[in-house]
């Protein structure tokens, strides 16, 4: 039977847990990384003193420890510490945005065997073990299966949320096997068979909270051609929405996905995971680019016999574009050269729905009407009009 090694969060030691989960065994303790951090801090202070001495006539600067938080429950280690630690195993960290791996990242599953993810002071690992990908975040109760469909979408969403993603390159050591002689250490080993059984309730969603019960949950993956899937989910809608927010999705995206999934949170999260990302980086800063994307998105729905794949992606894209800052939309409206009016887009979208929605699946049509309501609400904000969020004529109804 195969096992996945997974340490849970203790204090601020996510760096230690991240490396051990990555290496699939208790390779490092807090003292090991602290020693590396202290050594790096000493080197950096010595360099600062040397440079200061040359430029300021002998005045030294001590500075504060940078590579490790030495407080009582600390251990928030820097990227330099983790890099040095992994070098002991002949493993290299490469940023996912580095030109050398840009082409590889088009298919993350074949680019490497593992990723490290960092946001502020938190680190966690994603790794392929025993022919499957796993979310090894130490804040979780247990490892979570990353469905083959989810990996690329999840990494893209993490980056959009502000995470820095590193590819881990090199040959990994063999995973540690559990020993019945170490009962305390056994709590960090999880049988793959048990994890896969629990993962049936998440459908491979890497951040979905899985029930402790071994009863069968959602096992089938939602295909775009079957947007309405009857499930026996035991994950509450509130928990599902929390997981979608954890993945970095915004309310307009989640609302449209819930309509597509007939208010089933698990199905909605799967729709979000297959959503095509907005590739142009200027769309979030340039009002002209944003307006052009929105217009193309809505006009693209005006097709006879459009496949449900195209329609679903278009509706999800509307939710994404409406998730950008209101200031950006206001600039698009106030720019005399653009004068991009979301109310006009709302009117056109309503016309599209009148002509084509009858040919769409029921939930897709419902999502289309919901998207139109969202555009209308955004149009009010774009014009600077007061919006009563409690008004049932304005609030989007789920």
Catalytic machinery residues: 14, 122, 137
CA distance 354 to 345: 14
Say if residues 86 and 77 touch (Cβ distance below 8 Å): no
**DSSP assignment string, 92-151:** EEEETTSGGGTTGGGSHHHH-SEEEEEETTEEEEEEEETTEEEE--TTSSS-EEE-TTHH
Q: Which DSSP symbol is given to 3?
A: E
Contact present, 68 and 41 (Cβ < 8 Å): yes
What sign results for the dihedral spanned by CA atoms 286, 288, 291, 292?
Answer: negative
Please state, in angstroms and as integers, the Cα–Cα distance from residue 266 to each residue in 145, 233, 276, following that order. Answer: 14, 7, 18
Which of 275, 357, 352, 355 minimizes the C-alpha distance to 317?
Answer: 275
What SS3 class is residue 45?
Answer: helix
Contact partners, residue 119, CB within 8 Å, separation at least 6: 158, 161, 162, 163, 164
SS3 376: helix
| Measured distance CA(66)–CA(44) in Å, rounded | 9
Residue pair 255/272 in contact by the 8 Å Cβ criterion: no
CB 94 within 8 A of CB 167: yes
């Amino acid at each position: 039977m195969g096992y996945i090694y997974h340490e849970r969060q203790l204090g601020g030691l996510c760096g230690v847990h991240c490396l051990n989960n990555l290496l699939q065994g208790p390779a490092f303790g807090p003292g090991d990384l602290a020693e590396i951090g202290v050594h790096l801090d000493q080197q950096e202070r010595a360099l600062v003193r040397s440079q200061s001495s040359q430029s300021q006539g002998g005045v030294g600067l001590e500075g504060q420890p940078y590579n490790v938080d030495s407080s009582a429950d600390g251990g928030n280690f820097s990227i330099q510490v983790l890099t040095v630690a992994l070098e002991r195993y002949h493993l290299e960290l490469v940023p996912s945005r580095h030109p050398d791996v840009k082409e590889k990242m088009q298919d993350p599953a074949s680019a490497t065997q593992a990723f490290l993810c960092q946001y502020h002071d938190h680190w966690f690992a994603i790794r392929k073990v025993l022919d499957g990908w796993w979310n090894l975040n130490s804040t979780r109760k247990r490892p979570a299966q990353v469905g083959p469909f989810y990996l690329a979408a999840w990494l893209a969403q993490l980056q959009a949320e502000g995470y820095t993603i590193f590819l881990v390159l090199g040959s990994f050591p063999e995973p540690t096997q559990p020993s019945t002689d170490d009962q305390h250490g056994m709590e960090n080993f999880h049988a793959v068979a048990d994890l896969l059984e629990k993962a049936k309730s998440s459908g491979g969603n890497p951040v979905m909270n899985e029930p402790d019960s071994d009863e069968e949950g959602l096992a089938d993956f939602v295909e775009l051609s079957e947007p309405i899937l009857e499930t026996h989910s035991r994950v509450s809608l509130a928990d599902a929405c929390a997981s979608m927010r954890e993945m970095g999705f915004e309310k307009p995206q989640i609302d449209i996905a819930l309509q597509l999934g007939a208010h089933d949170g698990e199905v909605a999260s799967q729709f979000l995971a297959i959503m095509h990302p907005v590739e142009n980086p200027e769309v979030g800063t340039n009002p002209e680019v944003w307006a052009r994307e929105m217009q193309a998105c809505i006009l693209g729905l005006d097709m006879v016999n459009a496949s449900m794949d195209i329609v679903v992606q278009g509706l999800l894209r509307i939710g994404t574009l409406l998730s950008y800052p209101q200031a950006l939309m206001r600039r698009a409206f106030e720019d005399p050269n653009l004068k991009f009016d979301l109310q006009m887009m709302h009117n056109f979208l309503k016309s599209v729905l009148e002509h084509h929605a009858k040919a769409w699946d029921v939930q897709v049509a419902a999502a289309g009407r919901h998207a139109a309501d969202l555009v209308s609400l955004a149009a009010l904000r774009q014009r600077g009009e007061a919006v009563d969020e409690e008004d049932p004529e304005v609030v989007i109804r789920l």
